[in-house]
């Protein structure tokens, strides 16, 4: 984090969070069409057993004219890790897969990972998304996480998103790990101002919008694949049978909205419970600090020492729950807007038919 620091007006070192450096800046993710099909097939095959799957992405990052593009050219699935399996077996599997990729002259540089999700389940507080992506970005700064939702894809639009942890969250999360899981307190969520009543912010608090950043995705196909698709759609014998575009006109929106509202209500309840737990732990820590200060003999303990002995509770779980609730609201608003557009289109077609 040394390259994310600068001097404040008083001459002290301060952290400048959210500054994209040359080592972390990423403008676009270019994915081969075959990689997209592999991810979709892997997730679809495991839908029967209701298993959320994951895998690793292979490729390289290319910088041209101050634009950095991450090219994802291959991928492979990760096995399901049970309770009786350890991390060493997974490491051996990954090493062997990378060796096999190298032997067949395929890109074997790890550039991230992908995972399937069900209605934003990848944002849950107990999900390994944050820890896994932090490890990837800590070792490979330009790595990404691809999130694929097979349920939403059935409505006609492929739901495939690329996300990265922001630089601001990376610094905060590293501080959180170094302090024994006691980071992301209320002091970290609120902005810090100067003491000269100027109103200038020395350090901005982190919000739900500053956890993940979405990276634009571009699907790339070779010339032969593009020619084959063109022949299928326009001139080939399969063109008459390819009616998948009609799925976009599906008017059934109630199942998605019902499930989204149910998860939204559950998320709000989880957020309320987390706030109650945090308030209780905060009052308990304050009581312990007062009792320790009252019962101590000799030299009085400093405020920093008391804060270290009895730290405030971490609000990371509540921050993630609030971010998930925000995503549910955004998805409901977006899906409702698309549904209204379809209904107005169908109404116009019916009126034109009747006239």
- Reported as a single tens digit per residue, the pLDDT across 64-121 is 888 889 999 999 998 876 555 566 778 888 889 999 988 988 888 899 999 998 888 8
First to last CA, the chain: 68
pLDDT of 4 reads 31
pLDDT of 15 reads 31
All residues at 6 or more sequence positions from 18 whose CB lies less than 8 Å from its CB, including other chains: 166, 167, 168, 204, 210
Residue 185 has pLDDT above 70, yes or no: yes
Tokens linked to 259: 């499930």
pLDDT of 3 reads 36
pLDDT of 328 reads 87
Rounded Cα–Cα distance for residues 16 and 256 (Å): 41
Q: Is 183 helix (H, G, I), strand (E, B) or coil?
A: coil
pLDDT of 197 reads 55
Neighbours of 172 (CB within 10 A): 23
Per-residue pLDDT, averaged over 11-24, amounts to 40
* Burial category of 31 from C-beta neighbours within 10 Å (exposed 0-12, middle 13-18, buried 19 and up): buried
Q: Token pair 């998805």 is at which residue?
A: 331
Farthest CA pair distance, the chain: 94
Rounded Cα–Cα distance for residues 117 and 99 (Å): 29
pLDDT of 235 reads 59
pLDDT of 1 reads 32
Distances in Å between the alpha carbon of 238 and those of 97, 154, 229? Answer: 36, 21, 10
Give the helix/strand (H/E) hosting 146.
strand 144-148
pLDDT of 50 reads 65
Angle (CA) 294 299 302, round 5°: 75
Query: At 156, is the pLDDT very low, low, confident or very high (cuts 50, 70, 90)?
Result: low
pTM here? 0.74
Q: Report whether 29 contacts 36 (CB < 8 A).
A: no
Count of positions (residues) in the chain: 355
pLDDT of 300 reads 67
Per-residue pLDDT, averaged over 139-164, amounts to 87
DSSP bridge partners of 57: 75, 112
Give the helix/strand (H/E) hosting 75.
strand 67-77
């Amino acid at each position: 984090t040394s390259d994310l620091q600068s001097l404040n007006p008083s001459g002290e070192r301060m952290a400048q969070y959210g500054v994209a450096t040359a080592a972390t800046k990423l403008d676009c993710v270019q994915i081969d069409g075959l990689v997209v099909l592999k991810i979709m097939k892997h997730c679809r095959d495991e839908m029967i057993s209701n298993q959320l799957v994951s895998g690793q992405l292979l490729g390289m990052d290319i910088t041209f004219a101050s634009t950095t593009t991450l090219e994802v050219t291959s991928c492979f699935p990760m096995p399901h890790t049970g309770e009786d399996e350890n991390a060493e077996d997974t490491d051996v599997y990954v090493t062997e897969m990378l060796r096999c990729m190298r032997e067949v002259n395929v890109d074997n540089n790890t550039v991230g990972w992908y995972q399937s999700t069900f209605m934003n389940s990848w944002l849950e507080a107990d999900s390994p998304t944050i820890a896994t992506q932090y490890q990837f970005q800590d070792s490979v700064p330009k790595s990404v996480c691809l999130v694929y939702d097979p349920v939403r894809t059935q409505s006609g639009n492929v739901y495939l998103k690329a996300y990265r942890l922001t630089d601001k969250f990376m610094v905060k999360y590293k501080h959180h790990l170094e302090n024994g899981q006691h980071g992301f307190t209320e002091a970290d969520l609120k902005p810090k101002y100067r003491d000269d009543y100027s109103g200038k912010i020395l350090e901005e608090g982190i919000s739900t919008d500053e956890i993940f950043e979405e990276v634009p995705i571009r699907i790339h196909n070779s010339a032969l694949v593009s020619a084959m698709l063109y022949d299928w759609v326009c001139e080939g014998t399969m063109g008459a049978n390819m009616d998948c575009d009609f799925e976009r006109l599906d008017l059934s929106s109630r199942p998605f909205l019902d499930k989204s509202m149910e998860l939204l209500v559950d998320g709000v309840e989880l957020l309320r419970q987390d706030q109650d737990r945090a308030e209780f732990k905060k009052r308990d820590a304050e009581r312990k600090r007062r009792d320790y200060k009252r019962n101590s003999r000799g030299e009085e303990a400093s405020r920093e020492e008391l804060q270290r002995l009895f730290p405030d509770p971490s609000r990371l779980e509540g921050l993630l729950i609030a971010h998930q609730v925000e995503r549910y609201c955004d998805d409901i608003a977006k899906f409702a807007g698309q549904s209204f557009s379809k209904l107005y289109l169908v109404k116009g077609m019916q009126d034109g038919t009747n006239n």
